[in-house]
Structure 1
Amino acid sequence: MTGMQDRIAAKLRAALAPEQVNVIDDSHLHAGHAGARPGGESHFTVEIVSSRFTGLNRVARHRLVNEALAEELAGPVHALVIRAKAPDE
Structure 2
Amino acid sequence: MSKLATIETTLNTTLAPVYLQVLDESHMHSRGQETHYKAVIVSEQFAGLNPVKRHQKAYAAMGDLMQQIHALALHTYTPAEWAEQGSAPDSPTCRGGSKHDL
Tell me the TM-score normalised to structure 2 length: 0.75
Residues of 2 paired with 1:55 and 1:79: CA distance?
26
Structure 1 regions of 5+ residues with no counterpart?
none
- Three-state SS of the structure 1 residue aligned to 2:73 is strand
The structure with the larger Rg is 2
Alignment correspondent of 1:55: 48
Which residue of 54, 72, 91 maps to 1:80? 72
Post-superposition shift, 1:70?
Answer: 2.1
What is the 5 A alignment of 1:10-89?
10-32=9-31, 36=32, 40-74=33-67, 76-89=68-81
* % identity of equivalent residues: 35
Give the paired residue count.
Answer: 81
Secondary structure of 1:69's aligned partner: helix
TM-score by length of 1: 0.86
Give structure 1 regions of 4+ aligned residues with deviation exceeding 2 angstroms. Answer: none
Q: Compute the RMSD of aligned alpha carbons.
A: 1.2
